[in-house]
Amino acid sequence: MNSPWTHQTVLLSEAVTALQVNPDGHYIDATFGRGGHSRLILSQLGERGRLTVFDKDPQAIEAAQALAAQDARVGVRHQAFRHVGELEALSVDGLLMDIGVSSPQIDDPQRGFSFRHDGPLDMRMDTTRGQSVAQWLETADVAIMAEVIREYGEERFAQPIAKAIDRRRQERGPIRTTSELAEIVAGAVKTREPGKDPATRTFQAFRIFINAELEELQHALEGSLHVLKPAGQLVVISFHSLEDRIVKQFMAQHSRAVFDRRAPFAQPVAMALRDVRRVMPSSEEVSANPRSRSAVMRVATRTEVAA
């Protein structure tokens, strides 16, 4: 597949190093994207090693299938990463999730992710199913829109933006393009953060909502405990606070023993994760790839306790 849009993989060597690749192991790249992490993992696998890749973006799957056609060690699943837990229990030596939207998705105007380029207001990561943002906005209740913008965009002008969207669709009909939405938001946001487009938070909110990204992440994290072998590595890269908070809380919750206060002499429920740590991009990487500046990588090791 030839594409004018490229993707510079964030925390490439750090993430693969954290996986502690065993040449004969089985690894999951739960968010294939354009395969940067996958290719480096494959370079460290032997003939008996295996890599299973997930993605719900049809363009990413096309790239993954091209890789699988060249390398029999690669298995491809056109599914959201929430489905990782459906693999065989205790079958995986390491699981990598690189969460969020990829550069090709942002840079292609036809995908509708960016307010910087005019295009159809879509934002679906899987364009083969589900509602686009434009379709959802045709009938979405003002209160629901405001809640989505507030919760997923952390936008303090959520209510004025939702009312402005409602006013615009009543006066002129459905909102079809990214530039139309960006213009509406700009008119409703009274003060702007220096260097940030007023539409940034609203676009983020609608993207996260329409793709159920936070729910997907929570399901995938729970699934990781089912599939990871003892001593297997869980590696998660996130790009904004909502995602990172979920990952941080999940790892914290599962890296401490749980005591039942109603039965003080009972054995505690053992922790499922250990050796939790955080890794940030280097200053050199941020300088070379500004999109990496918000990245946070969290790593944990599966304990010897079975899921």
What pLDDT shows up at residue 212? Answer: 96
Domain boundary among 210, 226, 252: 210
What pLDDT shows up at residue 8? Answer: 78
Q: Which two tokens stand for residue 207?
A: 């993207």
Q: Please give the single-letter amino acid code of residue 24.
A: D
What pLDDT shows up at residue 307? Answer: 41
Same domain, 78 and 148: no
Name the 3-class secondary structure at 234: strand
What pLDDT shows up at residue 256? Answer: 83
Domain boundary among 210, 245, 270: 210
Closest CA to 38 of 54, 57, 58, 22: 54
Same domain, 236 and 87: yes
Domain boundary among 185, 210, 235: 210
Same domain, 35 and 177: no
Same domain, 203 and 134: yes
Contacts of 140 (CB under 8 A, 6+ apart): none
Distance of alpha carbon 135 from the chain centroid: 23
Domain count, the chain: 2
Residue 7 lies in a domain: no
| CATH code of 171's domain | 1.10.150.170
Same domain, 96 and 220: yes
Same domain, 243 and 188: no
Same domain, 20 and 140: no
Same domain, 84 and 229: yes
Distance of alpha carbon 157 from the chain centroid: 25
Burial 58-84 (b: 16+ CB within 10 A, else e): ebbbebbeebbeeeebbebbbebbbbb
Residue 265 lies in a domain: yes
Handedness of CA 243, 247, 252, 256 (dihedral sign): positive
- Domain ranges, residue 291: 12-104+213-302
Same domain, 205 and 283: no
| CATH code of 42's domain | 3.40.50.150
Distance CA 134, CA 132 (A): 5
Residue 185 lies in a domain: yes
Same domain, 91 and 229: yes
CA neighbours closer than 13 Å in the CB half-sphere of residue 181 = 34
Residue 169 lies in a domain: yes
What pLDDT shows up at residue 102? Answer: 80
Residue 201 phi, psi dihedral angles, 5° rounding: -70, -35
Distance CA 114, CA 123 (A): 9
Residue 77 lies in a domain: yes
Residue 295 lies in a domain: yes
What pLDDT shows up at residue 5? Answer: 46
pLDDT tens series, the chain, 307 aa: 444 445 679 999 999 999 999 999 999 999 999 899 999 999 999 999 999 999 999 999 999 999 999 999 999 999 999 999 999 999 999 999 999 888 788 889 999 999 988 999 999 999 999 999 999 999 999 999 999 999 999 999 999 999 999 999 999 999 999 999 999 999 999 887 888 899 999 999 999 999 999 999 999 999 999 999 999 999 999 999 999 999 999 999 999 866 556 656 656 557 899 999 999 999 999 999 988 999 999 999 999 854 4
Residue 112 lies in a domain: no
Residue 219 lies in a domain: yes
Same domain, 93 and 25: yes
Same domain, 47 and 83: yes
